[in-house]
Each structure stands twice: as C-alpha cells, then as structure tokens.
Amino acid sequence: MASSRKNRALYIDQEAVSALTLLKSGMLSPVTALMNEKQSKEVLSSGMFMGKTFPFPLILSPSGKVNETILTTAVKGEILDLICDNVIVGELCVDEVYPIDPRERLHQIYGTEDLSHPGVSATHKRLGKYAICGDYSIDLTSVQSIQEMLAQAKEQIGAQHTTALFMAANPLHRAHERLIRQSLERTDLIVIFLLKPYNNADLKYELRYETLKFFIDNYLPHNRVVIVPLESSYIFAGSNEVILDAIVAKNYGCDRLMIGQNHAGIGMYYDHNANKSILDRLIGIDIEVGISSEYVYCNQCKTLVSIQTCPHGHHHHISYHSESILELMRQGLLPPAVLVRKEISAMIVASLYPNRFKNLSKLYYDIMPVNGLLEEHTEKDFYVALMRLYQTTSLT
C-alpha cells in the first residue's frame, strides 16, 4: 500500500526487504530477530550465535540523512513505518538504536574493506552509521508459498533426502547440468535456489529460469527437481556465502548442500598449522555439505570429465567459465554445443537479439532443410537449426 505517513518512517531498499523477510520467516535460524548491540558484538568476536555458526551480525542499518535523523531521535516503543519504493512494507517497534562501524561490517561480510571491489562499494553506499533492532512486521507470503511448494514436492514423491544447489545459471552450461545430474544420483529431491541479484550484470532472472526449467522438464526425471527464487542480497556476498547457503538450505528443509569445487566461498586458509576451508567453521548447522569435482571438456576423452579422473593435462581441457560463455552470447555468437546445450543457447541469443533478422522466414527456408510445408519459425528455431548445421561434419 502507498505510504500513509501516520508514523515516522525508515526508508529501506529491496535488499533489506529480502533479508528482513528471510529473517522473520525463520529461514536464517538460529537468528530470528534483528540483533541488539550486545548480540552484535558477541557475533563479531566469535562468529557464533546461540552455539551455532553465524558469520556476522544481522542488523538493519539503512543509510541516508533522513534515516540517520530518525535513528538518532527514535525512542523505545516508537512505531516506525518501513518504506521501500514509496510503499509501506512493514512496521518496526523500536527497541534499541546503537552506532556501528560500517568498515568493520564490510570486513566481516566480504573479508575486505577495499572499496574498489564492486560488492564492497555497493554495500558501503547502503550502510548507515546506526543500527536499529526491535520486533517488526513484514509480508511473508513469498517465503510461505515456497515452503508450501517444497512440502508438496516432497510429499508427491515421498522424498526422504533433499539436496540444495545454489546457482546463478548465468548462463546454464554443461558443467551445471553434470552437477545437477550427479547430485540427483544421491538424493530423492533437488532444490535449486536460483539467484536473483540486485544488479543488471546478469541475464534476466526470467530468462535464466526459463532455460533451467527447459533442461529440467526435458532431460531430468519428472518431479524430482524444483526451482526456488532466492533474492541474492548483500548478506550472501563475500567469503561467508557458503555458510549462509547452508543455513538457508537447512531452514528450507534440505539435509544436504552440494557445491562446486571452484565455489568462491570455500577457499583454503591456514590456521594452527593446518589447512582448512570455510566449511570447517560450520558448527551446529546440521546439514551435510558435499563438494563436487570441477568438470571440463577434454579434447582427448571427447567428453565432459572430472579433472580428478582425467589423465590428460590442462592443455587438453576446455573450462566452463560462465563469464566467457556469456561474452560470446552477448556478441551474438552461439557457443559450441560442448559448452551449452543448443536449445538453451538459442533461447538466450534470441532474447539478447530480438528481431535481429530482416526476413527470418526467407533466411530459414533458404539455408535450412525443410519438409516443404509453409511453417512459422521463431528466431529460437532458427538458431537451433543453425547449430545443427554447425554440428554437421561430413565435409570437414
């Protein structure tokens, strides 16, 4: 609803709304409420909350002069409207307001305060100097609908084990497909948390969802994979991403989390004369974490292989780098089918270049084999047919 302005207001963004929704619905348990100053300091020093791993304080600290004025004059028990995009999204009853060190928070989230890092810079701009805690109300419909969907999916197949995968699928490539298939061999149900970031650097969420759903519907067992949208706010950024992924997956009812070996959040570090990873910090989060091998295409094996089992050197391997594959598509080129399934490439390139051809029908019938009937063809159909021609090798 539009702002009525009966109460004073805090102005927050969609990232804050997303985090507050997850928190209120219990998806970030053991944390179930905004932290006060004492709790915040304890988490900062220990990385623990109620005996369980939690990487940084969960606080609300909106930036801006208006917000700072409200925060520095708010009194305990005062009701504040929470406004996002000029719409009231909830109310907060003030319990405590306290100062924070924005740079300390940046370091806790990202492991660095370097403002040249785009994520650090973006988060720094939206961080204020004061945090507020207190009971609040917010619409939980989005999370509740996901919970209902997952409960129905489990009941439908009698799932005993559920595995979570977090991915951007930007774009969905063959290594993603292998990871999904490999995970499916060891579980009853897979929940793919498809990330929805708050920037324009990625393919649109709707397109990534469409390509992932195409793969699931056509090439995987029916009813054993579900897609869940996950708004990828700043709390999932940086070196703590895997920990937050594990917490969210557990609270959504998954008993296993599968991640890739080259996941940015599992880097090794040296502590007390031993090599450790971020996963060694998972305490009290009752979920099994599996790490998949890195997959490459080997031009000697002529197939997708694990680098752990392929006997050939790196000079025979083609890696699946999403940014490079996406760069080809942005230039209007169809990646080789060993990198991306041709139907998925066609869907993406057709979306990136709508109405690209002056006379698509003539072009299609001039260079493609047809059955003689006049048919309507989309740009996606054209790209799929073109890829089939690329894969014809009898004259090469």
Single out the residue in 104, 121, 138 at which a domain terminates: 138
What contacts 202, CB < 8 A, 6 or more positions away? 168, 170, 208
Q: Yes or no: say if 131 and 98 are a contact pair by the CB < 8 Å rule.
A: yes
**Containing domain of residue 245, as a range?**
142-351
Single out the residue in 117, 138, 159 at which a domain terminates: 138
- CATH number of the domain to which 115 belongs: 3.10.400.10
- pTM, whole model, 2 decimals? 0.89
Q: Are residues 45 and 101 in the same domain?
A: yes
What contacts 214, CB < 8 A, 6 or more positions away? 343, 344, 347
Measured at the CA of 223, the angle between CA 218 and CA 225, to 5 degrees, comes to 75
The Cβ-side half-sphere exposure at 372, using a 13 Å CA radius, reads 0
Q: Are residues 148 and 195 in the same domain?
A: yes
pLDDT in tens, 143-182: 999 999 999 999 999 999 999 999 999 999 999 999 999 9
* β-bridge partners, 49: 52
**Residue 252 domain-assigned?**
yes
pLDDT attached to residue 283? 87
**Residue 377 domain-assigned?**
no
Q: Are residues 206 and 340 in the same domain?
A: yes
The dihedral region occupied by 372, where left means phi > 0, alpha psi between -120 and 50, and beta the remainder, is left
Which runs of consecutive H residues, i.e. helices, occur in 94-173?
102-110, 118-126, 141-157
Q: Are residues 105 and 161 in the same domain?
A: no
Q: Are residues 117 and 195 in the same domain?
A: no
Q: Are residues 227 and 319 in the same domain?
A: yes
* Total count of domains within the chain: 2
Single out the residue in 138, 155, 183 at which a domain terminates: 138
Element (H, E) at 394: none
Q: Are residues 266 and 315 in the same domain?
A: yes
Q: Are residues 66 and 175 in the same domain?
A: no
**Residue 255 domain-assigned?**
yes
- CATH number of the domain to which 272 belongs: 3.40.50.620
pLDDT attached to residue 376? 75
pLDDT attached to residue 1? 44
pLDDT attached to residue 351? 94
Q: How is the beta sheet containing 288-292 ordered, strand by strand?
A: 225-232, 189-197, 162-167, 256-260, 288-292
**Residue 169 domain-assigned?**
yes
Q: How is the beta sheet containing 9-11 ordered, strand by strand?
A: 9-11, 79-84, 87-93, 136-138
pLDDT attached to residue 374? 56
pLDDT attached to residue 2? 47
Q: Are residues 31 and 151 in the same domain?
A: no
pLDDT < 70 positions in the chain? 1-5, 200-201, 239, 262-281, 371-375, 393-396
pLDDT in tens, 270-280: 344 443 455 66
Element (H, E) at 293: none
DSSP-based three-state secondary structure for 359: coil
Instruction: Return phi, psi of residue 14, to 5°.
Output: -65, -30
Q: Are residues 186 and 312 in the same domain?
A: yes
Closest among 71, 82, 232, 255 to 159, alpha carbons compared: 255
Q: Are residues 269 and 197 in the same domain?
A: yes
Q: Are residues 94 and 214 in the same domain?
A: no
pLDDT attached to residue 23? 97
Q: Yes or no: say if 285 and 256 are a contact pair by the CB < 8 Å rule.
A: no
Beta-sheet pairing, 162-167 with 256-260 = parallel
